[in-house]
């Protein structure tokens, strides 16, 4: 594209090229450029020209969907859903489909390297795996246990169990699991609210499939929220699985997300008032049902809610009527409602609304997600507060060695947390990244793990279905590069170190460790299969892609607790001044948190704006007109802690006082398809937390500055006729 070729040269080149091509390919045995190399020894179950299918688990997010990968002669060709796995029942999302573009990404860490913090370049100083293991072993054994920290991805997988065993044995702090997704979902707030109201920590499960009125408070459950494939199935059932009953859906959110667009009614409100609206609805529903308002809703002033939230009295009343008349209404708290300074109270108010309509443990109601079969207790990912604490420890030099696996905090955490400085203050940083992401390139060593499709493992399902699910992984292809399973590295390193470490991990390899963790399931007869001993059990485990309870669990939660508590939601929505806006970052529905390096995910249009390959700022067209901003004008969004630049997309479905921006782009590294593309909205997020320690990210106040620059966004939609625009003119 960049080279300018004149017509004359072009003709010359084509002629010469055609002649050469004709000579090179047209004649002689050389034309048979295809060669075939048969296996020396054919792997079992492989037939020439026929595909082999392997069941494993998708690692693109923490939902734990089962997938079946079609392979051909040792290459992974296509990802298909595992129809047996209860979470996704044979379906996949776009990110799961594109996982092959991760596996065969041209930018992977191919060898263990001494990186020496030489970002943004991947170091070429290759080390042997023996040296790598020695390095890990030394880091584990020669450092004071309290000065070692482990940072991992959100998914509670076998590696997390292994590292937990390791830290338990040496008395090191427990590993932290974190990802931007868990931050934007405000998972800690959700589980804390469940603990407060239901008496038990855990992720609530919202059975929308059997509900007839769904009231969602910013829960983008059709995009990335908790377990999107499972919730999409629930949505579909809610709409069309019952004769003559089509579930009705109302969605409160400041901007129209992909999920909101599927609702029958999208009701925009000011960010931070979701809890208030829930309380007001509760009060109105109690009135309509002719019961005295329980304590939880007693104190709310409905008129005041109308004023602060921007939701009209008519809308509130109508939604309240819908709920009151419904047989199975359900209210769902989403990340945007919870990631506020009043997030915990909002979560409790929304859960209390469910208590009011008495749907706890009912079909079409709220239950507590069952624990995975080999889980002791619900273990939530770290909240932003805990990440902040870790960063403080790192900065003050209390962490000497940091191990990072499956997470990219330099990109995923807001810049204002100061993770970059914290990394700088940590003497040894060892990354196990598969891809050359920002954090990996800023570490001392990268000892690359296999890609998810090259690895063994299991992943505990945390929510999505009322069945207890353990999804299993197995390699579907041989490792492409000189990578090694991180679990194996730790096991080897522990053996080298000896003593307590070696005792903690007395396993020959990763597979033996996994077997030790699923061994207790052999005795269970209520699952997807039965096997007499561990080898047969492991074989079935791989064949089925995991183990799950064959029937759904039910729980008997009491609503009394929830309603007896007095709830007070303060309005988080501050007033905004001139040229001030509420800032709403949201996780890109197509990219998720780690999809930016997969080119086909980049090429997927955002469902609502149809923008591809870039970041946009969604702004109400009316607001844009007032500010004199056109489509594709680059604006600078400035907060008290930072600024970020992106092109404006005039989005007709966003509150005039708010701007929204997708999270997922803005990488400075992470391969050729991600680096230098788009902007990262977390750059303007300040480290402020709610009562549950989650980041209060939604509705922060920002200013908008014009930059005078233009950067056209590539969109799938036609620009013709949109807001009177003609053909796009080149300037």
In the region spanning residues 30 to 49, those forming contacts with other proteins, defined by CB under 8 A, are: 31-32, 34-42, 47-49
Pairing of strands 714-715, 469-473: unpaired
Cα–Cα–Cα angle for 472, 478, 480, rounded to 5 degrees: 120
**Contacting residue, 496, 599, 639, 641, with other proteins by CB under 8 A:** 599
**Inter-residue contact 624 to 704 (CB < 8 Å):** no
Look at residues 612, 634, 186, 682 and name the one whose alpha carbon lies nearest to residue 415.
682
**Contacting residue, 55, 58, 94, 132, with other proteins by CB under 8 A:** 94
By CB under 8 A, residue 4 contacts other proteins: no
Phi, psi (deg, nearest 5) at residue 700: -65, 150
Tell me the closest approach of the beta carbon of residue 228 to other proteins, in angstroms.
Answer: 7
By CB under 8 A, residue 400 contacts other proteins: no
Tell me the closest approach of the beta carbon of residue 166 to other proteins, in angstroms.
Answer: 33
Between 59 and 393, name the residue whose CB sits nearer to other proteins.
59
Between 82 and 182, name the residue whose CB sits nearer to other proteins.
82
Q: Given the structure tokens 């930072």, which residue do they identify? A: 642
In the region spanning residues 198 to 237, those forming contacts with other proteins, defined by CB under 8 A, are: 222-223, 228-229, 232-233, 235-236
Q: Given the structure tokens 């004769």, which residue do they identify? A: 243
By CB under 8 A, residue 706 contacts other proteins: no
What six digits make up the tokens of 214?
A: 């769904």
By CB under 8 A, residue 1 contacts other proteins: yes
**Inter-residue contact 252 to 277 (CB < 8 Å):** yes
Question: In this chain, which stretch among 116-124, 145-153, 352-360, 600-608 interacts with other proteins, using CB under 8 A?
Answer: 600-608
**Inter-residue contact 202 to 193 (CB < 8 Å):** no
Q: Given the structure tokens 């203050």, which residue do they identify? A: 425
Question: In this chain, which stretch among 68-76, 197-205, 541-549, 641-649 interacts with other proteins, using CB under 8 A?
Answer: 68-76
Tell me the closest approach of the beta carbon of residue 611 to other proteins, in angstroms.
Answer: 10
**Contacting residue, 653, 686, 688, 701, with other proteins by CB under 8 A:** 653
In the region spanning residues 464 to 493, those forming contacts with other proteins, defined by CB under 8 A, are: 480
Between 7 and 32, name the residue whose CB sits nearer to other proteins.
32
3-state secondary structure of 102: helix
Question: In this chain, which stretch among 264-272, 400-408, 436-444, 569-577 interacts with other proteins, using CB under 8 A?
Answer: 264-272
b vs e for 383-395, b when ≥16 Cβ sit within 10 Å of the residue's Cβ? bbbebbebbebbb
Tell me the closest approach of the beta carbon of residue 586 to other proteins, in angstroms.
Answer: 15
By CB under 8 A, residue 75 contacts other proteins: yes
Pairing of strands 658-663, 616-619: antiparallel
Tell me the closest approach of the beta carbon of residue 724 to other proteins, in angstroms.
Answer: 13
Mind spelling out the 3-state secondary structure of 398-467? Answer: CCCEEEEECCCHHHHCCHHHCHHHHHHHCCEEEECCCCCCHHHHCCCEECCCCCHHHCCEEEECCCCCCC
Tell me the closest approach of the beta carbon of residue 72 to other proteins, in angstroms.
Answer: 6
**Per rule CB under 8 A, count of chain residues that contact other proteins:** 96
- Tell me the C-alpha distance between 685 and 156, whole Å: 27
In the region spanning residues 611 to 640, those forming contacts with other proteins, defined by CB under 8 A, are: 612-614, 620-622
What six digits make up the tokens of 121?
A: 């370049």
- Tell me the C-alpha distance between 504 and 488, whole Å: 14
Tell me the closest approach of the beta carbon of residue 655 to other proteins, in angstroms.
Answer: 8
- Tell me the C-alpha distance between 220 and 226, whole Å: 9
Count Cα neighbours of 359 within 13 Å in the Cβ-side half-sphere: 29
By CB under 8 A, residue 290 contacts other proteins: no
Tell me the closest approach of the beta carbon of residue 616 to other proteins, in angstroms.
Answer: 13
By CB under 8 A, residue 100 contacts other proteins: yes
By CB under 8 A, residue 712 contacts other proteins: yes
- Tell me the C-alpha distance between 33 and 283, whole Å: 76
Helix axes 486-497, 510-518, angle to 10 degrees: 100
Between 277 and 352, name the residue whose CB sits nearer to other proteins.
277
By CB under 8 A, residue 78 contacts other proteins: yes
By CB under 8 A, residue 321 contacts other proteins: no
In the region spanning residues 656 to 695, those forming contacts with other proteins, defined by CB under 8 A, are: 656, 672, 677
Q: Which residues contact 12 (CB under 8 A, 6 or more apart)?
A: none
In the region spanning residues 509 to 548, those forming contacts with other proteins, defined by CB under 8 A, are: none
In the region spanning residues 270 to 289, those forming contacts with other proteins, defined by CB under 8 A, are: none
By CB under 8 A, residue 10 contacts other proteins: no
Tell me the closest approach of the beta carbon of residue 417 to other proteins, in angstroms.
Answer: 30
Cα–Cα–Cα angle for 133, 138, 141, rounded to 5 degrees: 120
Between 107 and 131, name the residue whose CB sits nearer to other proteins.
107
By CB under 8 A, residue 77 contacts other proteins: yes
In the region spanning residues 241 to 260, those forming contacts with other proteins, defined by CB under 8 A, are: 246, 256, 258-259
3-state secondary structure of 256: coil
**Contacting residue, 56, 82, 85, 88, with other proteins by CB under 8 A:** 88
């Amino acid at each position: 594209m960049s080279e300018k070729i004149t017509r004359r040269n072009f003709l010359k080149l084509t002629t010469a090229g055609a002649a050469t091509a004709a000579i090179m390919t047209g004649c002689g045995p050389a034309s048979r450029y295809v060669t075939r190399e048969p296996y020396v020894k054919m792997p079992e179950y492989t037939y020439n020209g026929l595909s082999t299918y392997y069941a494993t688990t998708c690692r693109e997010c923490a939902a734990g969907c089962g997938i079946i990968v079609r392979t051909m002669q040792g290459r992974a060709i296509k990802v298909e859903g595992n129809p047996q796995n209860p979470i996704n029942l044979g379906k996949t999302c776009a990110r799961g489909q594109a996982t092959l573009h991760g596996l065969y990404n041209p930018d992977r860490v191919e060898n263990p390297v001494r990186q020496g913090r030489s970002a943004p370049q991947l170091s070429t100083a290759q080390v042997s795996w023996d040296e790598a293991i020695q390095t890990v072993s030394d880091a584990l054994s020669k450092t004071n246990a309290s000065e070692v920290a482990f940072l991992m991805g959100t998914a509670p997988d076998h590696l997390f169990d292994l590292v937990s065993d390791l830290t338990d044995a040496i008395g090191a702090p427990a590993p932290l699991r974190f990802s931007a997704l868990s931050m934007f979902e405000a998972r800690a707030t959700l589980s804390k609210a469940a603990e407060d109201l239901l008496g038990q920590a855990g992720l609530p499960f919202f059975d929308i499939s059997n509900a007839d009125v769904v009231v969602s408070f910013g829960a983008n459950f059709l995009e990335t929220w908790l377990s999107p494939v499972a919730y999409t199935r629930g949505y579909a059932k809610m709409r069309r699985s019952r004769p003559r009953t089509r579930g009705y859906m109302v969605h409160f959110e400041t901007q129209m997300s992909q999920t909101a667009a599927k609702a029958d009614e999208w009701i925009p409100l000011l960010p931070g008032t979701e809890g208030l609206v829930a309380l007001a609805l509760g009060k109105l529903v109690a009135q309509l049902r002719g019961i005295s308002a329980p304590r939880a809703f007693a104190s709310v002033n409905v008129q005041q809610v109308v004023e602060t939230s921007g939701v009209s009295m008519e809308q509130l009343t109508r939604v309240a009527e819908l709920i009151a008349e419904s047989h199975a209404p359900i209210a769902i708290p989403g990340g945007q409602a919870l990631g506020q300074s009043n997030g915990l109270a909002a979560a409790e108010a929304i859960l209390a609304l469910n208590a009011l309509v008495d749907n706890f443990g009912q079909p079409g109601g709220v239950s507590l997600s069952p624990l995975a079969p080999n889980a002791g207790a619900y273990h939530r990912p770290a909240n932003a507060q805990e990440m902040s604490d870790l960063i403080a420890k790192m900065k003050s030099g209390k962490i000497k060695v940091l191990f990072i696996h499956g997470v990219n905090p330099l990109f995923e955490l807001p810049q204002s947390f100061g993770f970059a400085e914290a990394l700088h203050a940590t003497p040894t940083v060892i990354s196990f990244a598969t891809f050359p992401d920002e954090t990996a390139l800023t570490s001392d060593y990268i000892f690359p793990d296999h890609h998810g499709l090259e690895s063994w493992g299991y992943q505990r399902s945390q929510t999505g279905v009322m069945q207890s699910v353990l999804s299993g992984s197995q390699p579907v292809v041989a490792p492409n590069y000189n990578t090694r399973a991180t679990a194996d590295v730790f096991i080897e390193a522990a053996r080298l170190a000896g003593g307590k470490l070696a005792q903690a991990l007395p396993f020959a390899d990763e597979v033996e460790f996994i077997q030790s963790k699923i061994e207790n399931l052999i005795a269970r007869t209520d699952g997807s299969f039965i096997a007499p001993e561990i080898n047969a059990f492991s074989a079935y485990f791989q064949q089925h892609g995991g183990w799950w309870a064959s029937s759904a669990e039910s729980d008997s939660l009491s609503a009394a607790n929830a309603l007896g508590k007095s709830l007070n939601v303060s309005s988080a929505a501050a007033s905004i001044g001139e040229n001030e806006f509420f800032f709403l970052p949201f996780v890109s529905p197509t990219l998720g948190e780690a999809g930016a390096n997969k080119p086909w995910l980049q090429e997927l249009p955002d469902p609502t704006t149809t923008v591809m390959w870039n970041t946009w700022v969604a702004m109400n067209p009316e607001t844009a007109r007032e500010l004199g901003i056109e489509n594709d004008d680059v604006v600078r969004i400035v907060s008290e802690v930072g600024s970020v630049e992106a092109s404006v997309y005039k989005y007709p479905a966003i509150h005039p006082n708010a701007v929204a921006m997708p999270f997922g782009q803005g990488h400075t590294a992470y391969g050729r398809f991600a680096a230098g593309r788009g902007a990262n909205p977390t750059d303007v997020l300040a480290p402020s937390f709610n009562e549950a320690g989650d980041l209060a990210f939604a509705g922060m106040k920002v200013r908008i500055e014009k930059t005078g620059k233009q950067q056209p966004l590539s969109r799938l939609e036609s620009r013709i006729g949109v807001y009177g625009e003609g053909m796009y003119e080149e300037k």
